[in-house]
């Protein structure tokens, strides 16, 4: 179907995408300016964030880009199975958490777990997800002028040639951005009905889970377990190591981690750390998960299991034709300009492995585009701002306290609640988003910490659990990572919009005049 210059509106895009997702429209949807031929400056193999943003920037720089995507929409897994549903569920988790905590108080009625349905939220997402999809296609077409073919399998023939929709297209450079998918851990019984990963959970769930086991110890495990439990469904997490230590201990501040893991325990999420799943059992559907825990074997009854055990790269469309170097987990390796080991072949997005975050996908795509267009650009993503959701929004950037102490020795922290008060002894950090908890359940208002190198007075780490601070971290991370850094004195000189979700500015001001910094 040729849609070039058809000027499809949002409703028409929704219709096309819906028809394709239902399998009623199987032909490729082609938005290519045929008058310009079939040669491009770059072809992006994959139309997720990396491909879409890369193509837009390549076009801004005067180049011609083609994006090829097997799904009928651009934007990739984010709006289909990953970030967007996750955010919907996390917002629901936060609302439900409050409804449970305040049940019978203020305007909250008795909490009715029967009324909070996992299935209903999944169905809501499924029924409406083509809205964002349509926006991606409409914006790419009408505002960004990106040429693309969606709803079509594509394959790399060599470093300059790709086939899609029964045709060959050539380019000066190829950008591989085919993404990743949930890895299967190889546990006996993992193919039973009722065993899902984050994608099949969205696609296939057709019953209301009554007992849930989540397998894994990383963000996905913690986030989905928090959501399931917030609906009132009994939920257990089985993790081989300590939760949230993926990427090495010290990646997340210990006090922040304790606050959020403790918060999950308080909300009756059963956490089995240092435990291994030996098998998943059941007949027509999963019935139990057998686990070896430090205290001996356990059998966890479950009618729903979520595998949250990592990702594997999608390499099928190029692995046979392009011998790009890959790491031990199969992810494509690139240099700081996103160049693979094969000349003129770049890679971007989740195909590069963790962190599987939006900023990395988009920026790696645009870095590749700039280099292809002769603009020298590098992108290092080792130092990142990061976040996750439990029933809280948890955000951090820079160094944990322990890592800062290791590197700088003399470190000062500003922490709320302060180390000498237990959560519950103070309603602080009561703030935007946690006022109701401040006056009803003070132990639930959140946690925050600012880590300062005492010698240079520079802020080297910021950590937050609460609501509404994530936005600030995008900018704070930039400020603290600049070569000049950000001193506590400069932070204390900013203008806070009281009572903002984090206290960093006000608390920095309380200490900024000190010649010899002390913590609080």
CA atoms of 108 and 43, how far apart (whole Å): 54
Compute how many residues bind ligand COM; rule: CB under 6 A: 9
CA distances (Å), 401 to each of 250, 388, 461, 463, in order? 8, 19, 7, 10
Q: How far is the CB of 108 from ligand COM (least distance, A)?
A: 33
Please state the φ and ψ torsions of residue 266, each to the nearest 5 degrees: -60, -30
Binding of residue 85 to ligand COM (CB under 6 A):
no
Helices and strands in the chain: count of H runs, count of E runs: 15, 23
Residue nearest to ligand COM (CB): 49
Binding of residue 389 to ligand COM (CB under 6 A):
no
Q: Which two tokens stand for residue 497?
A: 């919009």
For ligand COM, the closer CB: 108 or 359: 359
The span of 3-11, 19-27, 73-81, 171-179 binding ligand COM (CB under 6 A) equals 73-81
Among 28, 63, 72, 75, binds ligand COM (CB under 6 A): 75
Of residues 37 through 56, those in contact with ligand COM by CB under 6 A are 49, 52
For ligand COM, the closer CB: 43 or 307: 43
| Cross-strand pairs, 301 | 288
> For the residues of 379-420, what is the DSSP string, one character each?
---SS--EEEESSSEEEEEE--HHHHHHHHS-EEEEEES-TT
Q: Which two tokens stand for residue 334?
A: 């690139």
Site string for ligand COM, 114-143 (x = CB under 6 A): ------------------x---x-------
Of residues 323 through 382, those in contact with ligand COM by CB under 6 A are 362
What length does the chain have?
A: 520
Q: Is the peptide bond before 59 cis (omega within 30 degrees of 0)?
A: no
Q: How far is the CB of 355 from ligand COM (least distance, A)?
A: 15
Other CB atoms closer than 10 Å to residue 460's CB: what's the count?
Answer: 23
For ligand COM, the closer CB: 362 or 449: 362
Beta strand pairing call for 286-293 and 296-301 = antiparallel
Residues 6+ away with beta carbon under 8 Å from 204: 196
For ligand COM, the closer CB: 84 or 243: 84
Q: How far is the CB of 294 from ligand COM (least distance, A)?
A: 40
Binding of residue 79 to ligand COM (CB under 6 A):
yes
* Selection from 342, 306, 307, 336 nearest residue 321 by Cα: 342
For ligand COM, the closer CB: 75 or 385: 75
* Selection from 387, 310, 382, 317 nearest residue 347 by Cα: 317
For ligand COM, the closer CB: 355 or 418: 355
* Residue 449 near residue 388 (C-beta atoms within 8 A): no
Q: How far is the CB of 52 from ligand COM (least distance, A)?
A: 4
Q: How far is the CB of 146 from ligand COM (least distance, A)?
A: 10
For ligand COM, the closer CB: 75 or 310: 75
For ligand COM, the closer CB: 98 or 361: 361
CA atoms of 204 and 182, how far apart (whole Å): 15
* Interacting residues with ligand COM (CB under 6 A): 49, 52, 75, 78-79, 84, 132, 136, 362
């Amino acid at each position: 179907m040729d849609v070039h210059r058809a000027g499809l509106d949002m409703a028409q895009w929704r219709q096309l995408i819906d028809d394709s997702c239902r399998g009623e429209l199987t032909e490729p949807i082609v938005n290519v300016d045929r008058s310009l031929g079939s040669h491009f400056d770059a072809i992006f193999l994959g139309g997720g964030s990396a491909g879409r943003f890369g193509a837009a920037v390549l076009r801004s720089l005067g180049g011609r880009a083609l994006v090829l995507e097997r799904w009928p929409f651009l934007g990739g897994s984010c709006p289909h199975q990953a970030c967007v549903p996750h955010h919907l569920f996390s917002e629901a988790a936060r609302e439900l958490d409050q409804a449970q905590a305040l049940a019978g108080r203020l305007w909250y009625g008795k909490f009715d777990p029967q009324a909070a349905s996992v299935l209903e939220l999944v169905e809501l997402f499924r029924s409406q997800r083509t809205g964002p999809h349509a926006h991606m296609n409409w914006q790419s077409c009408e505002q960004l002028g990106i040429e693309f073919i969606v709803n079509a399998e594509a394959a790399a023939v060599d470093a300059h040639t790709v086939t899609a929709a029964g045709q060959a297209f050539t380019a000066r450079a190829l950008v591989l951005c085919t993404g990743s998918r949930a890895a299967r851990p190889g546990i006996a019984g993992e193919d039973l009905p009722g065993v899902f990963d984050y994608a099949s959970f969205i696609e296939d769930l057709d019953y209301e889970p009554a007992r849930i086991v989540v397998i894994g110890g990383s963000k996905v495990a913690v986030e989905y377990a928090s959501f399931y439990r917030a609906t009132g469904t009994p939920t257990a997490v089985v993790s081989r190591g300590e939760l949230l230590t993926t990427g090495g201990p010290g990646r997340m501040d210990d006090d922040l981690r304790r606050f959020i893991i403790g918060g999950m325990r308080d909300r009756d999420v059963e956490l089995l750390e240092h435990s291994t799943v030996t098998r998943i059992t059941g007949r027509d559907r999963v019935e139990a998960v057998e686990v070896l825990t430090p205290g001996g074997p356990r059998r966890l009854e479950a009618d729903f299991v979520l595998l949250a055990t990592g990702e594997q790269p999608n390499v099928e469309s190029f692995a046979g034709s392009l011998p790009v170097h890959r790491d031990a987990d199969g992810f494509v390796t690139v240099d700081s300009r996103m160049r693979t080991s094969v000349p003129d072949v770049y890679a971007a997005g989740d195909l590069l492995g963790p962190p599987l975050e939006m900023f990395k996908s988009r920026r790696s795509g645009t870095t590749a585009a700039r280099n292809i267009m002769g603009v020298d650009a590098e992108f290092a993503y080792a130092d990142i701002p990061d976040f996750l959701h439990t029933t809280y929004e948890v955000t951090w950037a820079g160094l944990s306290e322990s890592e800062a102490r290791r590197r700088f020795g003399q470190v000062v922290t500003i922490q709320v609640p302060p180390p000498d008060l237990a959560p519950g002894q103070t309603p602080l950090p009561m703030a935007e988003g946690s006022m109701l908890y401040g006056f009803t359940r003070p132990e639930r208002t959140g946690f925050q910490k600012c880590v300062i190198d005492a010698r240079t007075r520079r802020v080297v780490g910021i950590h937050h659990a609460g609501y509404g601070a994530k936005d600030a971290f995008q900018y704070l991370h930039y400020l603290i990572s600049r070569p000049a850094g950000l001193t506590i004195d400069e932070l204390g000189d900013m203008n806070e919009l009281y009572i903002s979700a984090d206290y960093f500015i006000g608390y920095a001001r309380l200490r900024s005049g000190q010649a010899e910094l002390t913590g609080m």
